[in-house]
């Protein structure tokens, strides 16, 4: 038992050195199954990771997802997302994420708005409330407000460019103890090589890390079945995923493999109105 918690502490140390005090992995298995691609994805499942995709589906959706990093219950992310179109060109969304245990946890509540500008541009804005705390009364709990913004350009039926920026004003969690909220920027491109095959590449920069290149493929094997693979360069992670969908339901699975730390599975279940 003690060995397990020593490993957990070591992983947390590596994790937070890389991402700052808060870390936000992809909340959708679609994104994590494609190597953490999100900036250029247009599917409604990408909206929790890129606000600009919100108004594209024109449907109301609610999704629950669970990710467990390196198979440790203490490193589980639980997420609920909700999106509703308010007209043919704009939509509202809500996104809540909980990480950790009562001993240490991080929470994020995001309110989202996105709008289509003509046929070739979609923009999005997100207001984020962040909470970080422990069950120890001798340690402080922190509450911060920040925001994210996103843009997608539809250059043709097959080619999409995407941009996403989280915490662009570099709001810090705690100046005294140098606890950081990362500023994250993503610039990506998605191209439909064929009607059934989407290829995507993305540049990701966390200001506390080296830049990262994400790549992914999504193959629509059948009308109800999507198959995904991906690669991320920093750290080196390999991804696979699969998605089942019907008119009203969607179930997605993904697994990421880290060479030293092992696998990180994710699952999401969604209902589309």
Give the integer Cα–Cα distance in Å for 157 and 230: 23
DSSP 236-249: EEEEEEEEEE-SSE
The CA-to-CA distance between both ends of the chain, in Å, stands at 45
What stretches of 144-215 show up as alpha helix (H) in DSSP? none
Domain ranges of the chain: 2-272
Distance, CA of 136 to CA of 265 (rounded, Å): 30
Each residue's pLDDT, cut to its tens digit, for the chain (273 residues) gives 444 444 444 444 444 433 345 666 777 889 999 999 999 998 767 667 788 988 887 889 999 999 998 888 888 899 999 999 999 899 999 989 998 887 888 899 999 999 999 889 999 999 999 988 777 766 677 889 999 999 999 999 999 999 999 999 988 877 656 677 889 999 999 999 999 999 999 999 988 888 999 999 999 999 999 999 999 998 899 999 999 999 899 999 999 999 888 999 999 999 988
Annotate 198-232 with b (16+ C-beta within 10 A) or e (fewer). bbbbbebbbebbeebebbbbbebeeeeebebbbbb
CATH number corresponding to 2-272 = 2.40.160.60
């Amino acid at each position: 038992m003690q060995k397990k918690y020593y490993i957990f502490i070591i992983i947390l140390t590596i994790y937070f050195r890389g991402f700052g005090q808060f870390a936000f992995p992809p909340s959708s298995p679609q994104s994590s199954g494609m190597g953490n691609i999100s900036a250029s994805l247009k599917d409604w499942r990408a909206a929790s990771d890129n606000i600009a995709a919100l108004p594209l589906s024109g449907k109301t959706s609610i999704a629950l997802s669970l990710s467990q990093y390196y198979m440790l219950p203490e490193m589980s992310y639980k997420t609920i997302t909700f999106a509703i179109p308010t007209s043919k060109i704009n939509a509202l969304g809500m996104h809540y994420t909980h990480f950790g245990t009562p001993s240490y946890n991080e929470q994020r509540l995001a309110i989202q708005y996105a709008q289509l500008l003509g046929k070739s541009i979609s923009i999005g804005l997100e207001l984020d409330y962040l909470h970080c705390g422990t069950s120890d009364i001798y340690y402080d709990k922190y509450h911060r407000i920040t925001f994210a913004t996103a843009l997608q350009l539809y250059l043709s039926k097959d080619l999409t460019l995407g941009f996403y920026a989280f915490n662009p004003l570099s709001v810090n969690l705690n100046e005294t103890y140098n606890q950081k909220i990362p500023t994250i920027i993503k610039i990506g491109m998605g191209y439909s090589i064929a009607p059934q095959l989407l290829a995507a590449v993305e540049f990701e920069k966390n200001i506390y890390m080296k830049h990262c290149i994400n790549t992914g493929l999504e193959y629509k094997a059948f009308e109800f079945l999507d198959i995904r693979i991906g690669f991320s360069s920093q750290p080196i992670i390999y991804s696979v995923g699969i998605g089942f969908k019907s008119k009203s339901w969607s179930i997605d699975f993904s697994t990421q493999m880290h060479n030293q730390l092992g696998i990180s599975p994710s699952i999401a279940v969604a209902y589309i109105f």
